[in-house]
């Protein structure tokens, strides 16, 4: 017999004891469900994101209704924009008759209680595949881009969005969008800011889904990555700088992205801010789980529920995840 005073295993002995001392919980209301939409008449599957679709507007409402019944209370919409509508300044992003405003209006009519979040950035609408306007010299322009982002946010708010999500990483965009929304009377529309968004290879499948990767289509030099605006994965305290700026500029929720490799940043923001913290379990993280599960190398259900719980443990109040409906269904099964 070891002469031990402390035996931490005592509190792990039975399910009842383990439940009593469990520190973190995961519920469907913690999940935000990202959905891709397109103009087509049918849903299209996405090769690198098994189980995800580009939803046609006719089928979108039923999927959102299903999510609601599973306990999910927020969806975020991403558009696959036809090539013919893309331009260098991405002006389609503020077309009030465009895909996203129409999708929002329809969902608000069919499921008025579901919170709708949007993404604000030019990449799905940009013929250059960047989140901002690219100058003839190949520089992603900050202030000129922010003006367009404000128009985009306004079009989304007019359609009925509850939460505007700037994902572009231009400086000063949160304050500019807040002011613009307020001036137009949308004082109650919130901003969930992609505060610490890193320049990451984990976004690959998302860019496939929207066909939105940076590309050179004109003679203009187009940067092949987003390193001049998205953050360097090597940096940590810079996330606090971004968080302080977004708080000061009027953000309601702060987000970290990607998620799994950046849980230290989630924890840091949680410690340094009293705002709700969100984390984005991005497309590449989803694809890795799906690929391994398809091969029978991991148990998908257990890995997903563990992963989502760990986001909560790190400090995420909210998790954007493509696993949302499966996760919520598994939580309901208990």
Q: Does 53 bind ligand PBG (CB under 6 A)?
A: no
Q: Does 242 bind ligand PBG (CB under 6 A)?
A: no
Q: How far is the CB of 167 from ligand PBG (least distance, A)?
A: 4
**Torsions phi, psi of 252, nearest 5?**
-100, -30
Q: Quote the CA–CA distance of 16 and 112 in Å, as a whole number.
A: 40
Residues paired with residue 253 on neighbouring β-strands, in sequence order: 192
Q: Does 123 bind ligand PBG (CB under 6 A)?
A: yes
Q: Quote the CA–CA distance of 150 and 156 in Å, as a whole number.
A: 10
Which listed residue (80, 86, 226, 257) is catalytic? 257
Nearer to ligand PBG among residue 283 and residue 307 (C-beta): 283
On whether the CB atoms of residues 51 and 113 are closer than 8 A, the answer is no
**197 is known as an active-site residue:** yes
Q: How far is the CB of 9 from ligand PBG (least distance, A)?
A: 39
Which range binds ligand PBG by CB under 6 A, 92-100, 119-127, 146-154, 181-189?
119-127
**257 is known as an active-site residue:** yes
Nearer to ligand PBG among residue 125 and residue 330 (C-beta): 125
Nearer to ligand PBG among residue 154 and residue 320 (C-beta): 320
> Half-sphere exposure (CA, 13 Å, Cβ side) for 296?
0
Which range binds ligand PBG by CB under 6 A, 17-25, 85-93, 115-123, 170-178?
115-123
Query: Hey, how many other C-beta atoms are within 10 angstroms of the C-beta on 27?
Result: 11
- Encoding tokens for residue 193? 């800011």
Q: List the one residue from 119, 128, 242, 249 that touches ligand PBG (CB under 6 A).
A: 119
Task: Identify the CA nearest to 153 among candidates 220, 221, 232, 93.
Answer: 93
**Tokens 């696959």 appear where?**
80
All residues at 6 or more sequence positions from 4 whose CB lies less than 8 Å from its CB, including other chains? none
Q: List the one residue from 282, 287, 316, 319 that touches ligand PBG (CB under 6 A).
A: 282
* Pattern 148-187, ligand PBG, x by CB under 6 A: -------------------x--------------------
**How far is residue 194 CA from its own chain's centroid?**
8
Q: How far is the CB of 210 from ligand PBG (least distance, A)?
A: 8
Q: List the one residue from 131, 162, 246, 249 that touches ligand PBG (CB under 6 A).
A: 131
Please state, in angstroms and as integers, the Cα–Cα distance from residue 86 to each residue in 49, 227, 293, following that order. Answer: 24, 22, 36
Q: Quote the CA–CA distance of 234 and 265 in Å, as a whole number.
A: 11
Which spans of this chain sit near ligand PBG (rule: CB under 6 A)?
A: 119, 121, 123, 131, 167, 203, 206-207, 282-283
Instruction: Give the active site residues.
Output: 197, 257
């Amino acid at each position: 017999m070891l002469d031990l005073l402390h035996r931490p295993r005592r509190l792990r002995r039975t399910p009842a004891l383990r439940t009593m001392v469990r520190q973190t919980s995961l519920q469907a209301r913690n999940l935000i469900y990202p959905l891709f939409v397109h103009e087509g008449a049918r849903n299209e599957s996405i090769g690198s994101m098994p189980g995800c679709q580009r939803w046609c507007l006719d089928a979108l409402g039923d999927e959102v209704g299903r999510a609601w019944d599973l306990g999910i209370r927020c969806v975020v919409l991403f558009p696959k924009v036809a090539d013919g509508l893309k331009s260098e300044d991405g002006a389609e992003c503020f077309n009030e008759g465009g895909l996203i405003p129409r999708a929002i209006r329809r969902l608000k009519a069919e499921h008025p209680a579901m919170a709708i979040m949007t993404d604000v950035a030019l990449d799905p609408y940009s013929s250059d595949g960047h989140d901002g306007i690219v100058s003839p010299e190949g520089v992603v322009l900050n202030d000129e881009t922010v003006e367009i982002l404000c128009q985009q946010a306004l079009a989304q708010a007019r359609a009925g969005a509850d939460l505007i999500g700037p994902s572009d990483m231009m400086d000063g965009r949160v304050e500019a969008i807040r002011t613009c929304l307020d001036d137009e009377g949308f004082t109650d529309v919130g901003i969930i800011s992609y505060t610490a968004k890193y320049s990451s290879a984990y976004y690959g499948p998302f860019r496939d889904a929207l066909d939105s990767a940076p590309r050179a289509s004109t003679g203009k030099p187009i940067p092949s990555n987003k390193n001049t605006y998205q953050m360097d994965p090597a940096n940590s305290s810079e996330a606090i700088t971004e968080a302080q700026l977004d708080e000061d500029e009027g953000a309601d929720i702060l987000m970290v992205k990607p998620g799994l490799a950046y849980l230290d940043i989630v924890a840091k923001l949680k410690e340094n801010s009293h705002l709700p913290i969100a984390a984005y379990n991005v497309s590449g993280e989803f694809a890795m789980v799906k690929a391994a599960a398809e091969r029978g190398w991991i148990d998908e259900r257990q890995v997903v529920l563990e992963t989502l719980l760990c986001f909560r443990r790190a400090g995420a109040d909210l998790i954007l995840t493509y696993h949302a409906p499966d996760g919520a269904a598994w939580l309901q099964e208990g």
